[in-house]
Every structure is written in C-alpha cells, then in structure tokens.
Chains A and B, each alone.
Chain A
Amino acid sequence: MKTRSRRAFLAESSAYSGAAWVAANFPAILTAQKSAQQGGLTFFTAEQMKEVEAIVAQIIPADETPGAKEAHCQYFIDRALSGFAKASQGAYTKGLEDLQGRTRQMFPGAARFSELSAAQQIQALTAIEKTPFFNLIRNHTVIGFFARPEHGGNFEKIGWKLIEYNDSLNHKPPFGYYDAQALAAKKG
C-alpha cells in the first residue's frame, strides 16, 4: 500500500514533524498559522505557546497527514482558556512549569521541552501521561482537533479529514458500505 510505505519511510527518517516538511507539504497551513499568530494570544505568553505547540504536536503528530499543531489546536486551547476552560488556567500554568522541571530532570542540559528531540518529547510526555494535567491538555487537543473550525482548531477541517467525516448538514442513504450492499442486493 502506498500510504503505508510512505508512513514507514517518514517514521524512519523522523523528519516528518519539522517545519520545513510541513512547509513543503502543507503550504496553506503555514500561511494561515502565521496569520493566526498575528491575531495575538488570549492567555499564553509566547514562550508558553511554544511549549503547548510542542505538546499538541506529540498528542496528535503529523505524519503523511497533518496533526494537532497544523490543525491549530494550540490556538484553540489558548482561546478556550479565556472561554469555556477559564477554570483550567492555573492547571495549565502549573502543568507547563512542572513539565519544564521534568524535562530538566530527565534530560540534564535541556532548557525546555520544546527543544527536546521528538523521541525525548515522547519520553517526557509518557512520564506524565497519567497526570491530570496531561489528561486535560490531551482532551483539549482532541476537542480542538474535532470541534467545528469556528472554535479555533480543526483548521481546514484537518481533524475531520483524518477520520473521513463528512460534515454535510444532512445525509441520504446509503450511508455506509453494508447498507449500500444490502440496497444493491434488494434491487437485484
């Protein structure tokens, strides 16, 4: 299968999450990301945003298709923290601090999580994956990835494209493979 081998290749080269690769593969995304960044942040500092961006990029990574970072989940979270998730502001501030502490503890010499290699980032996140903070940012990332783009994430319906979700307001049968088959058999 074409996509499989491409994924395998990307995994081996471990270069698939780099900005250059995104720029080459998803130029439209990069342009829009820039404009979204210029819109300003509502809660995070620029430094915090860099870390959040790195975290969401590991929660749903880019491979041959874009991931959470390309879907603007980091901006979704920034907006959420001034909106529906206001109560979680403190949890984020503390959670991000703790992650930096964990980073320095696990990788002496490393200044911040976002500067770790992808493999190191995964190691660091695995170490905190049972914590309430990780669960919080994981869920917010998933929500940003799959909620309607109006909420700030799911940019260009990246999340919906991944799961082949058709967001049409109404659907007509046949809906799926098996009812289509049954319908065809009935017709003769």
Chain B
Amino acid sequence: MVIGSGAGGGIMAKQLSAAGFSVVVLEQGGWGKYGREHEYNKDEWLQLNLSEDDRLMSDPARQRNTFRRSDKEKAVAGTHSYGCVVGGGTVTYGSSSWRHLPYEFKEVSTDPTIPSGTGMADWPISYEELEPYYTQAEWEVGISGQRIQSPFLAPMSKDYPVPPVPLKSSGALLYASAGKLGLTAVPGPLAIITKPYMGRAACVNCGICSGYGCQVKARSSSAVTMLPLAEKTGRCEIRAKSYVREIAVDNAGRVNGVVYFDAQKREVRQKAKAVVLAANGTESARLLLMSKSARFPDGLANSSGMVGRYLMLGNTVTANALFDHPLNEYKGVISGAAVVDYVPSDPKRGFYGGGRITARGYQTPLDLGLNGLSPEAPRWGAGYKKALREEANHRMTTLSFVTQMPLETNRVDLDPDVKDEWGLPAMRITTTSHPDDVKNMEFFRKKSIEILEAAGAKKVWAPPVNDARGGAHNRGTCRMGDDPKTSVVDKYHRAHDVPNLFIVDGSVMVTGGRNHPTMTIQALAFRAADHLVQNARKGLLRTSL
C-alpha cells in the first residue's frame, strides 16, 4: 500500500510492483486533465480554471488549513496548497532537479556558521551512500542537464541522460552578468526532457509550463514516468480520489491497513501488509497525527513527539528587472540557468545560509495582464495599455531558492477547531523562520539586485523578503535519524515505532538543502525501495496479516 503518488510514492509503487509485490496506490487527487496530445491547445484560461475533478493542486477551501506565527497565537485561515493529482507535485512543478551537495548531509559537523539552538542535525546517511540512487533517479525519471565539475555542484558518477534545455534570454543575461561579476552560472538540471526519451517526446518550448500539467508529457512527472511502469507490471492499482483518513494498527502495534474516503466520500477499508506513506511533507505528518489508537494515543509512530516538528515550508526571494530588448520569456520552460556561488554558507556573511539564484521571466498573457506589470504601473486605462506594450516580453525575474533551518517550534499539527471538507481536523501550520534565515533572504535579495543591474537592466525592483506560509516544498516533519527519541524514521525510512510502516517523501528530510527537494526525495525513494524489497524477501517486514 502506497499513500500518495508523487515524487516518492510513484517511485515506491514502480519499484515494489516491479519486484513482484502487489501494490495499491491511494491518491487524494483525481487523474487530472493534461498530457493529452490530441487536445493540445495551450489554453491558458481553461487550464487556470480546471473543474474540481481536473484540479492539479489542493484547494485550501476544501483541504482547509490554518496558519499562525507561534504557539501563542490563534491560527487564522491558511493558504497552504500542494500537488493534489495522480502524480502529485511533480505534475506541475518547475522541475528543478538539483542534487544536494555532499556537505549538505553533514552541515552541523562541518559548518561553523550554524547558530546554536536550532534543529539542524547531520543526516544518518552520507552523500556517497545516496550517489548511486541519484544517478538511478536521473536516468529512470529523465533529467536534462549538464555534468559540470564545480565546488558549488554535487559530483556525479554519470552524465545526465539528455542535454540541458536551450538557453533563454534570462539565462543569457544571467551568464553575462555572472561573467562581469566573477560568478558561476550553470544550466539547471530539469525534469523536462530535451530529446525523445523512454517513449516520451521532447519539450516543444510551448511556454505553458510550471503550474500547469505538461500537455506533451515532456515534464518527467511521476504520472508519465513511474506510474505507467508500475501499472504495466499488472500488479499495481492506482485509486484516484482516495483520501486516507487513518492508518490502522493491530494490537501488536503493526499496521494492517488504512481507512479512506472514496470519491463519493464513502468510507473504505483496505488491508495492507505494509504501508508506504508518501503524502508530502505536511500531509504525511497530519495523517500520522490523525491515526490515534490505544497503543499510539499521540498519533502513529510518534513516541518521540517529533511527528509534525521541524517543518520547513521553503523560502524564496524574488527580484525583477526590465530590459531594453525583448526577452520573450513566455517561450520555453520556466527556468534554465542559475548562479551557484552562494550555495555554501560563508562565515564572512555573519549568518548561516545559502541558496541558488535562478533566472526566469515567465509571463503568459493572462499572467502579464492580470498581475504582471511593475508595481507602479496603472491597472487600467491608457497608462495600463502603455505599460503592457512597454513591459511585455521585456521582463526578467530571479527567483532564489534558499536555506531554511529546521526548528522544533515550526510544525504541523491538528487544528482543534477547524475541520476540512471531509470533517477531519484541518492541518494547522505554525511557523516563523529563524533570524538567520531572514538575514539570508535579505542577502539574496541584495545579490539578485546586483546581478540584474550588472546585466544592464533599465529598471530593477524587488519586493520585501517574507518567509513562506505554505507551499509545495514542505519538508522535515517526520525526520530521519538513528535515535528513536529524536527522530521518526530510521535511515531506511522505517518508522522507529512501527516495523511495517515506511515514510518516503519530503517529511523525512533532516535539513532542507537549498530548497530544491525533489531530486533528493526521488533518490531517497529508490534507496528506500531497495531496502524494503530486500527486507521483505528476507521475511523481515514483521507484517500483521
């Protein structure tokens, strides 16, 4: 049984069914409406207005959640939303596929800039241990990119299977600026194929990209890579619109199945010998907390009290610029190039933090018209039309993906008052970034402005920095570790408290890297599947049934 069909769940389903196990995948979302080449029409408006059935992201009006800054506050209605469709967040994501760097697995023991009193910890596994699985993920999922030796990039044992996406004008400007400033710009690895690969066609640079399902299946989402292979084994059944409310346990404390709501909100019980939980870095923790029993009164697998804690939602920093000549960023994928010099933390800056500055400028017509002009531009009338004419296609944006430290006080729990549309306790998010995280965001804001100015921008603006209140890069709430008192799963993703429960998504991440989690989740999933299969074959799963 696999709960969730995204980056982690899709790989687990495919690996387990290929190894001969019977797998049922329960996915909260529907099948989605995309990837149908015969209906390919680039209709931005239709895709912004998908019916409830065709939605690709969760709806905070139905999957209700609440938000507060600290325990002292009463939570207010939240805006947290995540991939909610067969294929999960990989259906709509920007597709960045950066590996973590070797030192990101042991920052506490190697990085003197980390302040005390945070939840920063070394991972129980090393980069070297994970490297073969990174390679496997890149080749099985289908990642485009260029293998480059640099202290700012993870070392790779093999090239990417397909070359990087073509240079965009935002990328060209980033390279030019990096050249002037003595910085390192590189093509970003993307889960978007640039050549026909494993039966899928290459990206056609249509420009209806991040936030939408790929209409030609060039984005290597779980839905067009892993899940079809899993189904092809004849041993994997994917049940969409299946919203799990509880993971059930027997008297011995072993998982024996789940209870879920089907599309008609009817309760269904499904037995399982083992459960892989891959519902995302916030929902996995919530489901464990909802799965209370006499044996686990504080929630399943939560004897440590750590389930839901160390939430990292993922901070980003934006800066914008206008240039003299057209960039036409509406063509092509969302992003291609990044400045990587500030990935490592640096004691000279006076705080802990790092990140990547990615180039983009992505503006489809509706996006531009509704909210895409510079802040002072009029919203209607002759001035609005003039601004449309002048700014369209001339804008570049940098989006920096930056560190956020895990803090015990930042967490997911169950809201005591608010219920979701199914009558279950709403997710409550409590989060405030560490002061160093905020200083780091300020640093990236400043650097982004410098880069855009050096690129020759005629106008630059950057909104004030703000930490995330929700979002698809959520991680950390079921952290991995050797000590059952301070972590939820062991180094092989097995819950310390429950021998036949495995958690394989962003929630196991000990630290957040530079806020590009998907490739690491995928590598971890391939590794977790290997160990699960080996243990099951040896009869070590200790199942209930």
- Looking at B84-92, B108-116, B295-303, B379-387, the stretch in contact with chain A turns out to be B379-387
**Are the CB atoms of B382 and A61 closer together than 8 Å?**
yes
Quick check: A147 and B44 within 8 Å, CB to CB? yes
Chain A interface mostly helix, strand, loop or mixed?
helix
CB distance from A26 to the nearest CB of B (A): 16
Contact pattern, A 163-188, Cβ under 8 Å of B = 1, otherwise 0:
11111011111011111111100000
- State whether B45 touches A148 (Cβ < 8 A): yes
User: What is the total number of residues of chain A having a CB less than 8 Å from a CB of chain B?
Assistant: 44
Which residues of chain A are near B42, meaning CB under 8 Å? 148, 167, 169
Range of interface residues on B (Cβ < 8 Å): 35 or more
Q: Is the CB of B381 within 8 A of A178?
A: no
Contacts of B369 in A (CB 8 A): 142-143, 145-146, 159, 163
Q: Is the beta-carbon distance between B40 and A169 smaller than 8 angstroms?
A: yes
B167:A183 contact, CB within 8 angstroms: yes
Answer whether residue A15 sits at the interface, using C-beta atoms and an 8 A cutoff. no
A58, A142, A164: most-surrounded residue (chain B CB, <10 A): A142
Instruction: Tell me if A102 counts as interface (CB < 8 A to partner B).
Output: no
Distance between A163 CB and nearest chain B CB, rounded to angstroms: 4
A122 at the interface (CB under 8 A from B): yes
Q: Pick the contact of B380: A138, A169, A177 (CB < 8 A).
A: A138
Contacts of A116 in B (CB 8 A): none
- Which chain B residue lies CB-closest to A167? B42
Taking CB atoms, residues of chain B closer than 8 Å to A145 are 369
Q: Does A63 contact B (CB under 8 A)?
A: yes
Report how far A159 CA is from B392 CA in the complex, Å: 12
Q: Which residues of A contact B332 (CB under 8 A)?
A: 171, 173, 175
Residues of B within 8 A of A (CB): 40-46, 49, 166-173, 175-176, 204-207, 323, 325-332, 365-366, 368-370, 379-382, 384-385, 388-389, 392-393
With A59-B384, A171-B206, A182-B167 given, name 6 new contacts (CB 8 A).
A60-B380, A163-B388, A177-B326, A178-B173, A179-B166, A182-B176
- Give the B-binding residues of A (Cβ under 8 A): 11, 58-61, 63, 67, 84, 122, 125, 129, 138-139, 141-143, 145-148, 150-151, 159-160, 162-167, 169-173, 175-183
16 inter-chain pairs at a CB distance below 8 angstroms, sorted by A residue, are: A11-B382, A67-B385, A138-B379, A139-B370, A142-B370, A147-B365, A148-B46, A159-B369, A164-B393, A165-B365, A170-B205, A173-B166, A173-B332, A176-B329, A178-B172, A179-B166
